[in-house]
Structure 1
Amino acid sequence: MADISDKQEYSGTRFEKADFSDRTIRDVVFEDCTFIRCDFSSAVVQQCRFTDCVFDQCNMSLLAVPETQFSGTEFTGTKMIGIDWTKAYWPTFDFYSQLVFKACILDSNNFFDLRLHESHFESCRIHNADFRQTELNKSVIQDCDLTDTLFMHTNLEGADFTGSHSFYIDVRENKTAKATFSAYEALNLLRVLDIRLAD
């Protein structure tokens, strides 16, 4: 198991069952690194950079990410409650974040006003998250539970919501052109229009 020191660079390093909870990690570059069953709960990763990294079955709840950049990063089976992604570093020239979330718990995450074009959310629980004013066009949001998650002035053009459920999306307040929804769940889009459907 590798440890992490501030102001270092790690490339192709594997971290397994490492406990970084409640710890502050500063100015570290991670490239093509793998984190397996690591604990980052209540940790702070400040001014770090994660490029083409994988987090598998980690606990990242209440992780703080001030000025940290994520690019081409994948999270699988990871618990990620209460993360404020707006505090991370999102360079203006990096048009696509290319983040992938699979079978993750993303409750109470804040994505407000971020550009997350073509991001990937698959089989995730996303309760009470904030996607207001977020650019999610051409993103994949499949088989997700979106209970009480906020969408307002959100760009969902070309997004794929196949299999996702429990969402409330006002088609008058969000961009939904060419977005894909499962037929049954698409009925939720009509609730705000105050119309009745006959069998």
Structure 2
Amino acid sequence: MQKIQDGECYVEQTFSRLSCIEGDFSGVEFEDCTFEHCDFSGSTFARGKFIDCTFKHCNLSLMKVPSTRWFGVEFIECKLVGVDWTKADWPAFHLDSELRFKHCILNDASFFGLTLQGLRLDECKCHEVDFREGDFSHSFMTHCDFTNSVFMRTNLQSVDFTESENFNIHVLENKIDNATFSRFAALNLLYSLNIELVD
């Protein structure tokens, strides 16, 4: 049975089917590690690091990440409901933390006020996610469902929203210069201008 010990550094290791529900970890560093079918729901990773790691088919819902650094991490088919990413450690000199989410559930997450340029969301469910006052310029948010997610004073310049839907982005309260939208989905942007559309 694999175990994660506080204060340890793990390099190029694979953790498979590890169940640590509501676990409490401090000062643990992971570099070039892979997590497969692990359950860290409700767990706390404090003052740690995840560098160039991959999570596949993992449950990370309600995970807490106080002062933990994330760089070059990819999540594939993971559940990350209710994660408050604002509590993590995001160094000012890394404008692009190279976070990638593919086929993930990110409902009720918070990215409030974060600078995560180049963020990649592909085919993700992003219901009621808080993107307010963040800088996500040059990101890729394609094939996603943004039902009830909030954008306000958000930098979305040059973001690719191709094939994404159900977003409510006020064009006067957010920066959307050079952003890309699918033709029909772009009609949602007009509703925020209080104008009438006719056939």
TM class by shorter chain equals: over 0.9
Output the CA distance in 1 between the equivalents of 2:90 and 2:47.
12
Output the CA distance in 2 between the equivalents of 1:2 and 1:137.
39
Which amino acid letter does the alignment assign opposite residue 22 of structure 1?
E
Number of the residue aligned with 1:192: 192
Classify the secondary structure of the residue corresponding to 2:186.
helix
Output the CA distance in 1 between the equivalents of 2:46 and 2:54.
18
Shift, 1:178, TM fit: 0.2
Which amino acid letter does the alignment assign opposite residue 171 of structure 2?
V
Output the CA distance in 2 between the equivalents of 1:78 and 1:100.
11
The superposition leaves residues 6-50 of structure 1 with CA deviations (integer Å, 9 ceiling, x where unpaired) of 111100000000011111011011000000010000000001100
Output the CA distance in 2 between the equivalents of 1:194 and 1:19.
50
Number of the residue aligned with 1:98: 98
Alignment of 1:1-199 (within 5 A): 2-199=2-199
Shift, 1:2, TM fit: 3.0
Output the CA distance in 1 between the equivalents of 2:32 and 2:11.
6
C-alpha contact 1:2 1:13 (8 A) present in aligned 2: no
Which amino acid letter does the alignment assign opposite residue 91 of structure 1?
P
Output the CA distance in 1 between the equivalents of 2:95 and 2:123.
25
Classify the secondary structure of the residue corresponding to 1:83.
coil
Shift, 1:94, TM fit: 1.6
Task: Tell me the number of residue pairs that the alignment of Structure 1 and Structure 2 aligns.
Answer: 199
Q: Which runs of 5+ in 1 are unaligned?
A: none
Which amino acid letter does the alignment assign opposite residue 80 of structure 1?
L
Output the CA distance in 2 between the equivalents of 1:149 and 1:9.
36
Query: Please, what TM-score do these two structures have when normalized by structure 1?
Result: 0.98
Query: Please, what TM-score do these two structures have when normalized by structure 2?
Result: 0.98
Output the CA distance in 2 between the equivalents of 1:20 and 1:62.
13
Q: Report sequence identity in percent.
A: 44
Runs (4+) off by over 6 Å: none
| Residue range with higher mean Cα deviation, 88-97 or 172-181 | 88-97
Output the CA distance in 1 between the equivalents of 2:168 and 2:6.
43
C-alpha contact 1:168 1:189 (8 A) present in aligned 2: yes
Output the CA distance in 2 between the equivalents of 1:170 and 1:81.
25
Output the CA distance in 2 between the equivalents of 1:22 and 1:166.
33
C-alpha contact 1:111 1:134 (8 A) present in aligned 2: yes
Q: Cα RMSD (Å) of the superposition? A: 0.8
C-alpha contact 1:2 1:14 (8 A) present in aligned 2: no
Output the CA distance in 2 between the equivalents of 1:2 and 1:120.
30
